[in-house]
Amino acid sequence: MNLREKWEDQAGQWLAWARAPGHDSFWRHHGEQFSRLLPPPGVLTLDIGCGEGRLSRQLAAAGHKVIGVDASPSLIAAARSADPSIAVTRADAAALPLADRCADLAIAFMSLQDVDAMPAAMHEAARVLKPGGRFCMAIVHPLNSAGRFESLAPDAPFVVRGSYLDSFTFSDAVERDGLSMTFHSAHRPLQSYFAALEDAGFLIEALREPSIPEAIVARDSSRRWLRVPLFLHLRCLRP
């Protein structure tokens, strides 16, 4: 199975995980951290790899006209039934069924590390954006996906046992608060993402490396994450 098929296979688990109130990092801090990077609503916003549609719904509530795109038939069906007023379509990020230069904002929130043909998806994002449009993306930080902490202790060593510079796929089975989810993803070094952006013609305008905010760390056992970024955020200009 490729990554796209593995995500369809996990659709039921993802639905439960993504929608459980306050469960996923999206609800605890990440959605708000990412929203700071976004330009205001324009004519059309694409949510590439929209999943069950939680970000599409937030964007629509903030005044964006949104089209959500995802490869998983089950997640697209869930997004459509959660809010039928938001247009969603089942497609691969590497072959968007959209006209050239139709949008002024394309978003890929936590999807590109799960997309098999990531460079082709970047090209598609550039193709559907108008000149002057923005591409905003969040991924698992490549340092994070290259290694892991040896324990939960605040000063636990973070160890890269394989190679940061190689690309590889991996599956991370996580259990928390009675929910289980297997994340099927690719680790790619930063230069893979930046080469794809360069090749697609994007100019990088802003870069953030968010981790768990201090206020949340103070309440749980995640203090080790103050030393290593969880995510990478980029805002890019399509000239």
Ligand X SMILES: C[S@@+](CC[C@H](N)C(=O)[O-])C[C@H]1O[C@@H](n2cnc3c(N)ncnc32)[C@H](O)[C@@H]1O
- Where does this chain bind ligand X (CB under 6 A)? 3-4, 7, 18, 26, 49-51, 54-55, 70-72, 75, 92-93, 109-111, 114-116
Closest CB to ligand X among residues 153, 174:
174
Q: Which single residue brings its beta carbon nearest to ligand X?
A: 51
Distance in angstroms (rounded) separating the CA atoms of residues 88 and 72: 11
- DSSP string covering 162-224: S-TTS-EEEEEEEEETTEEEEEEEEE--HHHHHHHHHHHT-EEEEEE-----HHHHTTSS-GG
Shortest CB 51 distance to ligand X, Å: 3
- Residue 216's alpha-carbon distances to 30, 32, 36, 125, in angstroms, are 12, 13, 18, 34
Decide whether 3 or 129 has the Cβ nearer to ligand X: 3
Strands 66-70 and 45-48: parallel
| Beta carbon nearer to ligand X, 82 or 102 | 82
Q: Which is nearer to ligand X, 123 or 223 (CB)?
A: 123
CB of 188 to ligand X, least distance (A): 14
* Residues 10/181, Cβ–Cβ less than 8 Å: yes
Q: How far apart are CA 138 and CA 234, in angstroms?
A: 7
Query: At closest approach, how far in Å is the CB of 80 from ligand X?
Result: 14
CB of 190 to ligand X, least distance (A): 19
Nearer to ligand X, 91 or 216 (CB): 91
As measured in angstroms, the least distance from the Cβ of 111 to ligand X is 4
